[in-house]
Chain A
Amino acid sequence: KQEVTQIPAALSVPEGENLVLNCSFTDSAIYNLQWFRQDPGKGLTSLLLIQSSQREQTSGRLNASLDKSSGRSTLYIAASQPGDSATYLCAVSSYGGSQGNLIFGKGTKLSVKP
């Protein structure tokens, strides 16, 4: 059974700092991995999607890496801003050709202090 773990559960940093969020999964047979952002009381926004054949994806100040063999992914946020404060979720899809069943971690709650 696939399990996704995110470390740390919460993180508080001063504005401008670079930071790394970690995600690990127990079954390396994944189709893809996604990082989402969840704002309080709101839905999820997809940040980055990494296919199992890829090593990393970048979008603006965000960079996500994937090491499928070791079951790990990291989300790197450069020059953090207060607007980055949110809960970041990592999710893996283990069904080939379908996003169907996303297995989520519990998330990392990020707080960026001005």
Chain B
Amino acid sequence: GAVVSQHPSWVICKSGTSVKIECRSLDFQATTMFWYRQFPKQSLMLMATSNEGSKATYEQGVEKDKFLINHASLTLSTLTVTSAHPEDSSFYICSQQALETQYFGPGTRLLVL
């Protein structure tokens, strides 16, 4: 299957700083990537759909100015959490669609102090 990588896998930051998470497809080109968030003991929830070369589509309740998504190439999408706060601490995971299946990255665990 397709391989998706995420970087970093772990990040700890101070409140008010911005954090960038990268999602790369290593062996295929993806026009569409998805960003999910998972709080402890909760379901994975779709945050936004990232389309190469166009603006991302955000789910209801997700602030587009806080979670900046850039999908500048067919192999890279980035999610920037701006002015992070403790309530943004979560597990962020990206996925890419290839044919009938979504391939997920390993995820990034963010802890905001």
Contact = CB atoms under 8 A, between A and B. Distances in A.
Contacts of B97: 98-100
Interface residues of B, number: 26
Sorting the interface of chain A by its residue count into under 10, 10 to 19, 20 to 34 or 35 or more gives: 20 to 34
B106 A43 contact: yes
Contacts of A101: 46, 49, 59
A46 B97 CA distance: 12
B interface majority secondary structure: strand
B16 to A, nearest CB: 26
A61 interface: no
Contacts of B54: none
A104 interface: yes
Interface of B: 1, 4, 6, 9, 32, 34, 41-46, 49, 59, 93, 95, 97, 100-107, 109
21 contacts: A36-B104, A42-B107, A43-B6, A43-B104, A43-B106, A44-B93, A46-B1, A46-B101, A46-B103, A89-B44, A98-B97, A99-B97, A99-B100, A99-B101, A100-B97, A101-B46, A102-B34, A102-B44, A102-B46, A103-B43, A104-B44
Q: Return the 9 tightest CB-CB contacts between A and B, nearest first.
A: A44-B104, A43-B106, A43-B104, A104-B44, A104-B43, A106-B43, A99-B102, A99-B97, A42-B106
Given A41-B107, A43-B105, A99-B101, 16 more contacts: A34-B101, A43-B4, A43-B93, A43-B104, A43-B106, A43-B107, A46-B102, A98-B97, A99-B97, A99-B102, A101-B46, A101-B59, A102-B44, A102-B46, A102-B102, A104-B44
